[in-house]
């Protein structure tokens, strides 16, 4: 069983898409094993997004993620990381296929509804940050 971290970002929460996001994972046979709604603090977000620290969008991203509630989840299943990322769609909603979460609901690179771990190592690191 593989585990991955998923975050429903503030735009997904504000738009009432938590149920839609979860149902897409569950319909694929994935299981939500833990979840909670939180207000993320700057220190935790800086730790989570450390690989982006030198990128021009970093400060905007951290600030955005502190702008509202987020839902953090551990999603489990066979090939969970790849399946979740396929369900989410490409990071840039312009490139995301219709039928994916981002293809159907996202508007911008920052406000793209969800975050998901991109590797086993990232999933382990990110889950340890949030849980």
Pair 85, 116: CB distance under 8 Å: yes
115 as an active site residue: the answer is: yes
Q: Does 36 carry a binding-site annotation?
A: no
55-89 pLDDT, tens digit each:
888 999 999 999 999 999 999 999 999 999 999 99
Domain count, the chain: 1
Q: Is the pTM of this model over 0.85?
A: yes
> What angle in degrees, to the nearest 10, is found between the helix axes of 18-27 and 80-88?
130
Can you give the residue range of the structural domain that contains 67? Answer: 2-130
Cα of 115 vs its chain's centroid, Å: 2
Q: Does 4 carry a binding-site annotation?
A: no
Nearest in space to 70 (alpha carbons), one of 34, 105, 41: 41
15-43 pLDDT, tens digit each:
999 999 999 999 999 999 999 999 999 99
Q: Does 24 carry a binding-site annotation?
A: no
Q: Does 57 carry a binding-site annotation?
A: yes
Rounded distance between C-alpha atoms, residue 99 and residue 97, angstroms: 6
Pair 26, 33: CB distance under 8 Å: no
Q: What is the CATH number of the domain that holds 100?
A: 3.30.70.141
The catalytic residue among 3, 24, 48, 115 is 115
């Amino acid at each position: 069983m593989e585990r991955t971290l998923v975050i429903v970002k503030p735009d997904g929460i504000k738009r009432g898409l938590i149920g839609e996001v979860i149902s897409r994972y569950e319909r694929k046979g994935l299981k939500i094993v833990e979840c909670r709604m939180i207000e993320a603090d700057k220190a935790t977000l800086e730790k989570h997004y450390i690989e982006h620290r030198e990128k021009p969008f970093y400060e905007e991203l951290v600030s955005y993620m502190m702008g509202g509630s987020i839902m953090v989840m551990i999603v489990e299943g066979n090939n969970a990381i790849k399946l979740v990322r396929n369900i989410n769609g490409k990071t840039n909603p312009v490139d995301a296929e219709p039928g994916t979460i981002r293809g159907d609901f996202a508007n911008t690179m920052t406000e793209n509804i969800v975050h998901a771990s991109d590797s086993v190592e990232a999933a382990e690191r990110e889950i340890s940050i949030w849980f």
